[in-house]
Amino acid sequence: MHGNVGRVSNRAKPAAFRRQVVPHVRAHYGGGPHERCGPTRAAEPLQKGQDLEVSVRTRRRGRLAAGLWSRRRKRKPHRRRRQRRAHFGELIQVDGSHHQGLEGRGPKGCLMNFVDDATGLALGRFWDQETTWAAADLLPAGVPRQGVPRALYGDWKNVYQRPPTSREAIAGIPPETPFGRLCAQLASGIIAASSPPAQGRVERHHGTHQDRRSKKMRLAGMADYEAANRYVDEQYRDAHKAKLAGRPAAGADFHRRLSKRLDLQWVFCWEAERVVSNDRVVRFENRFWPWKPKRNQGLGAGARVTLEQTREGELRVRFQGRTVPFAGIAKPPPKARPEPQPRVAPRPHKPAANHPGRPGLPLAKRAAKAGGLWK
């Protein structure tokens, strides 16, 4: 064992120096874990302002001994678990799960999942992608049965919520998606989640469905999503509700009744805005939709109209809250393209018999012919 073991180092600072430094550090550079200065940051002003030269390692050991420093690292603040809503129908979490539900027996699909926040009651259906039509077709499946929910909780995917454009941000116009306009007609709001943990309940439902539902569909021998959707509606949903759904904290049902004046066929439709041209025609999906000016005196060139199209393809035009009669013009026939002609290979070029570059002609004769001396 070395002889200096247990002795104070010859380069150690004296105790009086430490008693001078520690109170100064406690007063000016101390604080909580997110407020105090580190050893490097505290050693620099001590050397410049107070003329107290202390190395970083010495400063760290001294603060540890004085209780002014800890080995606790800076971490992000812990997200507090959000309590469930108390009432059934108060909040519905919406999300899509891209998963190989058929386990290789078919293409990859997307499970659109609606989960009640208070009870965990789920409503799901398979689609190709997480689109506006997928969400718009799943919502009316629960509205006639239970009613209109107070709010829907989705992510920042453009289906549910989107950031405002520059024009909307300047004018103060709230951004709205086609699915958002649909929910606005039902007086149901949309809340955008800022992170996946905020939608923890619907995310955990995804894992449950990916495990239980995929195995049950495999045992049933299903190889397409049409049969899978029928199985979900007829068998799986009731079994899932009986096993995993709970009771809300409060007994009141927050679902609202659907107004009799609303026609679900035109509520759950696609909307698009168009501008009337100078000849009173609106163009939509490469077709022209004119109407008679005598029956629509207030509808002139430059007016903005709303075109609504159902999933079945039925179309109507609305202007200032009223339906405008119109007549569609058939799509123009595609232009006839000329049939491609068979490609003929070019004939090889054969120089003339008296061409100066003709091969086989002697060099002297070629030079003389090029200079005009050959006859």
Q: Which of the given ranges, 2-16, 85-99, 246-260, has the highest pLDDT on average?
A: 85-99
- Checking if the pLDDT of 55 tops 80, the result is no
Q: Which of 78-87, 240-249, 356-365 has the lowest mean pLDDT?
A: 356-365
Q: Could you give the CA distance from residue 324 to residue 307 in angstroms, rounded to a whole number?
A: 10
Tell me what percent of the residues of the chain surpass a pLDDT of 90.
5
Element (H, E) at 167: helix 166-171
Phi-psi region of 132 (alpha: psi -120 to 50; beta: other; left: phi over 0): alpha
Which pLDDT belongs to residue 162?
Answer: 86
Which pLDDT belongs to residue 91?
Answer: 92
pLDDT average, residue stretch 115-120: 91
What is the residue-averaged pLDDT of the chain?
78
Q: Could you give the CA distance from residue 195 to residue 304 in angstroms, rounded to a whole number?
A: 37
Between the CA of residue 114 and those of 36, 126, 139, 196, 333, what are the distances in Å?
46, 12, 8, 15, 44
DSSP 8-state secondary structure symbol assigned to residue 113? E
Q: Which of 139-148, 157-166, 324-333 has the lowest mean pLDDT?
A: 324-333
pLDDT band at 174 (very low <50, low <70, confident <90, very high): confident
- Checking if the pLDDT of 226 tops 80, the result is yes
Q: Which of 67-81, 182-196, 296-310, 336-350 has the lowest mean pLDDT?
A: 67-81
Q: Could you give the CA distance from residue 151 to residue 190 in angstroms, rounded to a whole number?
A: 6
pLDDT band at 373 (very low <50, low <70, confident <90, very high): very low
Listed in sequence order, the residues at least 6 apart from 51 whose beta carbon sits closer than 8 Å to its beta carbon are: none
Q: Which of 180-194, 281-295, 314-328 has the lowest mean pLDDT?
A: 281-295
Specify the 3-state DSSP secondary structure of 305.
Answer: strand
- Checking if the pLDDT of 324 tops 70, the result is yes
Q: Which of 99-103, 284-288, 367-371 has the lowest mean pLDDT?
A: 367-371
Q: Are 299 and 218 in contact (CB under 8 A)?
A: no
pLDDT digits (tens, 9 = 90+) for 121-158: 888 889 888 888 888 888 877 787 788 899 999 888 88
- Amino acid (1-letter code) at residue 343: R
In the structure encoding, which two tokens stand for residue 278, read together? 């100078």
pLDDT band at 75 (very low <50, low <70, confident <90, very high): low
Between the CA of residue 32 and those of 24, 67, 68, what are the distances in Å?
16, 12, 9
DSSP class per residue in 176-244: --HHHHHHHHTT-EEEE-SSGGGGHHHHHHHHHHHHHHHHHHHHHT--SHHHHHHHIIIIIHHHHHHHH
pLDDT average, residue stretch 277-295: 75
pLDDT average, residue stretch 9-35: 69
pLDDT average, residue stretch 225-245: 87
Which pLDDT belongs to residue 364?
Answer: 58
